[in-house]
Structure 1
Amino acid sequence: MDIEASLSGSVGGILIGLSAIWLMGSLGRISGISGILSGLLLERPRGDSGWRLAFLLGLVSGPMVLMLLGGELGNVAGAPNEVIGAPAGGVGLMVIAGLLVGVGTGIGSGCTSGHGVCGLARLSPRSMVATLVFVLVAMLTVFVSRHWLGGAS
């Protein structure tokens, strides 16, 4: 058992939960990333852009600050000296996947952060169903890509 990875994941989960509570308590908003991003890019309500932009910049700048301070993001690339690495299926596939995720969050009225973190915490039946669907589709995708399409195992 990797205690350091478990502790790191636990601290990260606590920080995600606290940020969701803070956003809900201070602004009455759900910290669903797709909703925050679409609200900033598409809806543009007056006086509502500042916190959305700060939230999204925090998502990107947090890991950058960690790396500048000498911390690590973990080996997410599969090679010791890489941070992220090249897309496994190429840039075109990544663009298609990103568009499909965007369509899915629109159809599902939210993403894993909105439904999985905030919705489950509020015991929302709709979020429970959405999160279950997210997890089952992710499991099916991994199974198909690894066992039927011959991807990395």
Structure 2
Amino acid sequence: MDMTASLHGLIGGVLIGLSATWLMISLGRIAGISGILGTLFTARPRGDSGWRLAFLLGLVSGPALVILAGGGLGNVAGQAGTVIGAPAGGVATMLVAGLLVGVGTGIGSGCTSGHGVCGLARLSPRSMAATLVFLAVAIVTVFVVRHGIGGGA
């Protein structure tokens, strides 16, 4: 087991938990990324977009700061010498998958960050159900792609 990767995961998890807690304490808002992004461009209370933009900027600038500090991205590709690796499917597959995730977050009234991180921490039954559905669908999707469509990779 790679202790460095485990430590990075632990630190990342703590930072996610702290940011979600800070947002709830300071603004009374749930750190659900789909909700933050989705309502950034729709009707919302006046002056409500500043914190949303700051949150999203922080979300994407964090990895950039780690790279600038020499931390790199790590190897999420699973192959030596690559950082991200080739996508599992083509661009069309990725577009359809992204669209389905977007539709799913709309139907589920939130995403894994809102339900899985914040909702479970608040012991929300709706979030528990949503998170279980997210996990079940992810497990089935991986199984189908690896053993059905992908041909047993």
TM-score normalised to structure 1 length:
0.93
What is the match of residue 58 of structure 1? 58
Secondary structure (helix, strand or coil) at the match of 1:29 reads: coil
Mapped to 2, the partners of 1:137 and 1:150 lie a distance apart of 17
Task: Extract unaligned runs of 5+ from structure 1.
Answer: none
Mapped to 2, the partners of 1:44 and 1:90 lie a distance apart of 36
Q: Does 1:70 find its partner at 2:74? A: no
**Native 8 Å contact 1:39 1:45 kept in 2:** no
What is the match of residue 106 of structure 1? 106
State the AA in 2 paired with 1:53: L
Task: Extract unaligned runs of 5+ from structure 2.
Answer: none
**Native 8 Å contact 1:32 1:112 kept in 2:** yes
What is the match of residue 148 of structure 2? 148
What is the match of residue 33 of structure 1? 33
**Native 8 Å contact 1:23 1:30 kept in 2:** yes
Task: Specify whether residues 21 and 144 from structure 1 end up closer, same or farther in structure 2 by C-alpha distance, changes over 3 A only.
Answer: same
Mapped to 1, the partners of 2:42 and 2:76 lie a distance apart of 31
1:72 Cα deviation after fit? 2.2
Mapped to 1, the partners of 2:87 and 2:102 lie a distance apart of 18
- Deviation track 1:24-82 (CA, whole Å, cap 9, x = no partner) reads 00000000000000011233432011110111111111001101111022212344444
Structure 1 segments, 4+ long, off by >3 Å, are: 78-83
Mapped to 2, the partners of 1:43 and 1:76 lie a distance apart of 37
Mapped to 1, the partners of 2:33 and 2:6 lie a distance apart of 24
1:130 Cα deviation after fit? 0.2
TM-score normalised to structure 2 length:
0.93
Name the Cα RMSD after superposition: 1.5
Residue-pair matches, total? 153
1:3 Cα deviation after fit? 1.3
State the AA in 2 paired with 1:102: G
1:150 Cα deviation after fit? 2.3
Secondary structure (helix, strand or coil) at the match of 1:110 reads: coil
What is the match of residue 93 of structure 1? 93
Mapped to 2, the partners of 1:41 and 1:101 lie a distance apart of 19
Aligned identity (percent) is: 75
1:88 Cα deviation after fit? 2.5
1:152 Cα deviation after fit? 6.8
